[in-house]
Structures are given as C-alpha cells and as structure tokens.
C-alpha cells in the first residue's frame, strides 16, 4: 500500500483530523509492537498514515516508546516520507510558546534507548551518514507549504533531545544553550536516526509548548500552561500538513 505521508504525533496530537476511509493496522515487527495501531486513511487522493507516539491514550513516557517498532511498522505499511511532530521547550529568543519550528540539527543527550536496527544478532553493521539529521527536501516541502498558506514557521534550529520524563534544570538548559541547542524535547531521538537507518525521508515539526527551564519570566513550568500552548500550536498542524499534501 503506497502511503503519501506518515505522521508520528507527539503530545497533544493523538489523531489526524479529517481522514476518510480509515483503517486501523495492528503491526507486529521484529523489534516488538509499535506505540499503538497505525491509522491510515485518505485526504482527497492522498493516502496518509498516522501513529500516536505515546499511544492514543498517552500511556508511554518518552524513554519507553518503542521507536524501532514505530519506524519499522510505518515502513512496512509503505511509508516513504515521515514527519515527526514533537512538543518542545524553547531556548532561543524567537522560539517561545506556540511557535512552530522545522529544525535542521540535533544533539542527542538521551541514554539507554535502543537506537539502531543493527544491534540484533546477525544484522549488518551500518555507519550511516547523519551530518544532516533531517531530510532536506521534506523540510523544504514543509517550509514551502507554510509559506503558501501564510503560516509562520521558523526555518532551522538545533533540537536537543533529553532523556526525560522530567523537565531539565536551569543549569542543564544553560549548558544546552552553550552547546548550540535552540529547542529541547524528549522524543526527537532516536526516531530521526532510525528513520535514516530505515532509508526513510524524515523531518521534524516542533511545537513550542513552554520556555525551557530558566528561559522564561515565570519560575516553575506548569503543565496546564504547556497543554494550553500546545493546544493552540497543534491547531496549526493539520492545515500545514494538508498544504504539504496538496503540493
Ligand atoms: N523540555 C523537554 N521536553 C519538553 C519540554 C521541555 O521544556 N517542553 C515540552 N517538551
């Protein structure tokens, strides 16, 4: 089955609105089961697949997501192009709450996650090039789509992937800023590298939910505030993806 676009939804995005002819696919993989069933459907003449990264009832924390099974299952269903939608904290001055960003770099601070398809017995050892962690044509297609519908999206930025599930300390964010990170999130890796190993096109759409620790005016980061900012930012995701599909 050919899929024109696959979307992995993060916190706040548990389904792809407006899909017709919906089918649910329960896929088993050599790496275990994905976060949930993959939902496929049509938008006009385009076929879309959607997977909720944390499960549709948000039961999986970032370090327990089976990223390998998710990527494998999407590929098995026929996906070639994957967009990972990720909630993030903003570090850079122009990446405050509700801003949408299409990052172009990653620094990986996660640990203990199964982050390669090569670590099973007998698998070929791959040393993939990861100089550009996101596929440029897919990033560009998203940026062009945003421009066509007059939607403000920041082009580029470095995504720092942390282990979570806790948020960071002020000192950790200060270090990440010195390292060159513009955004911080918990789910960007190993998803991006697994997509590359699997030979898929992959780009990230980051939704800023809050100022990262120590970057905003307020003291504590409140979950209510995160969810409210995410709700507003998420409302922009389907028009953007629709414009991308209509290219
Ligand atoms: N840090 C890490 N991950 C996040 C944040 C944050 O501040 N906000 C949303 N996801």
Q: What is the pLDDT of residue 57?
A: 83
Distance 225 CA to ligand 1 centre (A): 12
Q: In this structure, is residue 125 part of a structural domain? A: no
What residues have CB less than 8 Å from 93, skipping those under 6 apart? Answer: none
> Number of folded domains in the chain?
1
Q: In this structure, is residue 76 part of a structural domain? A: yes
Distance 47 CA to ligand 1 centre (A): 31
Domain coverage including residue 230: 5-117+131-245
Q: What is the mean pLDDT of residues 40-55?
A: 93
Q: In this structure, is residue 110 part of a structural domain? A: yes
Q: In this structure, is residue 123 part of a structural domain? A: no
Q: What is the pLDDT of residue 124?
A: 82
From start to end of the chain, where are the E strands? Answer: 5-9, 20-25, 38-43, 46-52, 81-90, 100-102, 105-108, 154-155, 158-161, 183-185, 201-211
pTM: 0.96
Supply the CATH number for residue 172's domain: 3.40.50.1580
Q: What is the pLDDT of residue 167?
A: 96
Task: Give the ligand 1 atom nearest the CA of 210.
Answer: 8
Q: In this structure, is residue 205 part of a structural domain? A: yes
Lowest-confidence pick of 41-45, 84-88, 145-149, 230-234:
41-45
- Beta carbon of 183 within 6 Å of any ligand 1 atom: no
Q: How far apart are the first and last CA of the chain?
A: 21
Q: What is the mean pLDDT of residues 8-34?
A: 92
């Amino acid at each position: 089955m050919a899929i024109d676009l696959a979307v992995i939804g993060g916190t706040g995005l548990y389904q792809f609105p407006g899909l017709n002819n919906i089918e649910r696919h329960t896929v088993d993989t050599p790496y275990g089961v994905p976060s949930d069933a993959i939902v496929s459907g049509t938008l006009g003449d385009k076929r879309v697949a959607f997977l909720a990264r944390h499960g549709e009832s948000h039961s999986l924390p970032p370090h327990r997501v089976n990223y390998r099974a998710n990527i494998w299952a999407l590929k098995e269903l026929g996906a070639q192009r994957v967009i990972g939608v990720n909630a993030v904290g903003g570090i850079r001055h122009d990446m405050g709450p509700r801003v949408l960003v299409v990052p172009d770099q990653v620094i990986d601070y996660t640990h203990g996650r199964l982050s390669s398809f090569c670590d099973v017995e007998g698998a070929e050892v791959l040393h993939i090039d990861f100089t550009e962690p996101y596929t440029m044509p897919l990033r560009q297609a998203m940026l062009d789509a945003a421009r066509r519908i007059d939607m403000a999206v920041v082009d580029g930025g470095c995504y720092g992937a942390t282990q979570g599930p806790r948020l960071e300390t002020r000192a950790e964010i200060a270090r990440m800023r010195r390292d060159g990170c513009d955004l911080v999130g918990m789910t960007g890796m190993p998803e991006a590298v697994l997509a590359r190993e699997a030979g898929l096109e992959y780009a990230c759409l980051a939704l800023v939910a809050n100022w990262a620790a120590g970057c905003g005016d307020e003291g504590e980061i409140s979950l209510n505030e995160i969810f409210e900012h995410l709700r507003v930012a998420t409302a922009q995701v389907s028009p953007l993806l629709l414009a991308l599909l209509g290219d």
